[in-house]
Amino acid sequence: MYTLNEQQIDFILHDIKTRGVDIESLQLNLLDHICCIVESELQEDGNFDQFYQQLIPKFFRKDLKEIEDETILLLTFKNYYAMKKAMIITGITSVTLFIIGSLFKIMLWPGAGPLLVFGIGSLSLVFLPLMFVLKAKDSSSKNERLLSGVGALIGFLICLAALFSVMHWPHALTLWIVAICIATFVFIPIYFYNGMRNPDTRLNTLVTTILILGATGLLFIMVNIRPAKKQLEIKMYTHIQSEDLLRKMQQHAKQYDPLASDIDTTAERIKSLIIEGMIGKPFIPKDFEAQKLLGEEENLGPAFFKEGAEGAILFSHLKETVAKYNSTLTLNEGNKIPIDHFQEDKIGFYNNYVVLNYVVQLQMYLATDENKMTASK
């Protein structure tokens, strides 16, 4: 019986590694196996090098790495079916949830949000990545794999963009634009190049490319739908008129008490912050058309949405002071300033023009109350 020394064991292990076996447990299995054969079959005074060189080719057809390839294949083959099953289940579940969620959303029934988030979330985060992995496994060329990868990424971004739009979360527009750009500048050129190289698929590729370009263009237009310029101008005029009316109402009140004055100042600061975000100035000038200033209608930005941001702090202060003001009112209930329906945790969902209108109305209530107080004194 031959006894292997440490150098020989190191040599065998090194050789196994050099021949491309990377899985450590497989390296150790093969090392022990080879050592067992050498020790049991080689004579005590036998030539190790010669024996080893004759033995090792018996382990494979082409190279030793095929044992590792076979192991990986066997392990992933099992996963292949599990993944396929998971893909089908998540696909059906997410589409069902998405359809039911959309119905709930249209009918304004409660629970639409969670249904849509879960449906679109599982579609983009589970179904699409699984589809890509399985598709990549079946693809023979690198280009096909790249194409399915980019396709899955675009699908993922479109799903998220749709979800962000429906849920009125910020950055939905950025997601739409990124998805459309990747589709136009990466996916379509690769798809076109791949298909046009093969004479059999040339016509089909051309037609499909036109269809994809058309669909991407339509998506781009839909994403960028904005209210007409005239509509925005009307909204701006309405705000200017409301402000004028407010000033007139405020003239009658002799002097605001400190609490009312605090509310009014906070309201003014909120308006300035919103208008600054819209047109870059703290108020809407009367000649805004001549100055070519147009405030886009959109949800309040991160200045209001984020916790601790200036807008959010001002709103919270406004609510507090109005509540305090309401409690000090000696007049009847009808004079109280309505504030409860305006929820701070939903500030991000409020539209800028709606909030401006709301704040001006709040100031009007205040002016009316203060007028009555002045009159009663």
Partner 1 sequence: MHNILMYICVMYSSELIKGTLKTIILKLLSETKRMYGYEITQRVKELTGDKIQITEGALYPTLHGLEEHGAVTTEVVNIGKRVRKYYTLTSKGKKEASEKVDEFAEFIGTMQFLLNIKTQVK
Question: Is 37 one of the binding residues for partner 1 (CB under 8 A)?
Answer: yes
Report how far residue 122's alpha carbon sits from residue 88's, in angstroms, rounded to the nearest whole number. 12
Report how far residue 195's alpha carbon sits from residue 185's, in angstroms, rounded to the nearest whole number. 16
Under 8 Å CB-to-CB from 270, ≥6 apart: which residues? 311, 314, 315, 318, 355, 359
In angstroms, give the least distance from the CB of 77 to partner 1.
5
Question: Is 133 one of the binding residues for partner 1 (CB under 8 A)?
Answer: no
Q: Is 28 or 234 the residue whose CB approaches partner 1 more closely?
A: 28
Using the rule CB under 8 A, which residue among 22, 32, 41, 340 binds partner 1? 32
Q: Which of 339, 314, 315 is nearest to 326 (CA)?
A: 339
Question: Is 84 one of the binding residues for partner 1 (CB under 8 A)?
Answer: no
Using the rule CB under 8 A, which residue among 75, 89, 211, 218 binds partner 1? 75
Using the rule CB under 8 A, which residue among 14, 20, 36, 47 binds partner 1? 36
Q: Is 54 or 198 the residue whose CB approaches partner 1 more closely?
A: 54
**3-state class (DSSP) for residue 291:** coil
Question: Is 70 one of the binding residues for partner 1 (CB under 8 A)?
Answer: yes
Using the rule CB under 8 A, which residue among 78, 226, 247, 286 binds partner 1? 78
**3-state class (DSSP) for residue 19:** coil
Report how far residue 265's alpha carbon sits from residue 256's, in angstroms, rounded to the nearest whole number. 11
Residue 299 β-bridge partners: 351
Report how far residue 290's alpha carbon sits from residue 287's, in angstroms, rounded to the nearest whole number. 5
Report how far residue 299's alpha carbon sits from residue 352's, in angstroms, rounded to the nearest whole number. 6
Q: List binders of partner 1 among 243-272 (CB under 8 A).
A: none
Q: List binders of partner 1 among 278-317 (CB under 8 A).
A: none
Question: Is 66 one of the binding residues for partner 1 (CB under 8 A)?
Answer: yes
Using the rule CB under 8 A, which residue among 1, 18, 25, 200 binds partner 1? 25
In angstroms, give the least distance from the CB of 56 to partner 1.
10
Report how far residue 277's alpha carbon sits from residue 296's, in angstroms, rounded to the nearest whole number. 10
In angstroms, give the least distance from the CB of 4 to partner 1.
8
Report how far residue 157's alpha carbon sits from residue 306's, in angstroms, rounded to the nearest whole number. 23
Using the rule CB under 8 A, which residue among 16, 30, 172, 373 binds partner 1? 30
Report how far residue 112's alpha carbon sits from residue 232's, in angstroms, rounded to the nearest whole number. 30
- List of residues contacting partner 1 (CB under 8 A): 6, 9-10, 13, 23, 25-26, 28-33, 35-37, 58-61, 66-67, 70-71, 73-75, 77-78, 80
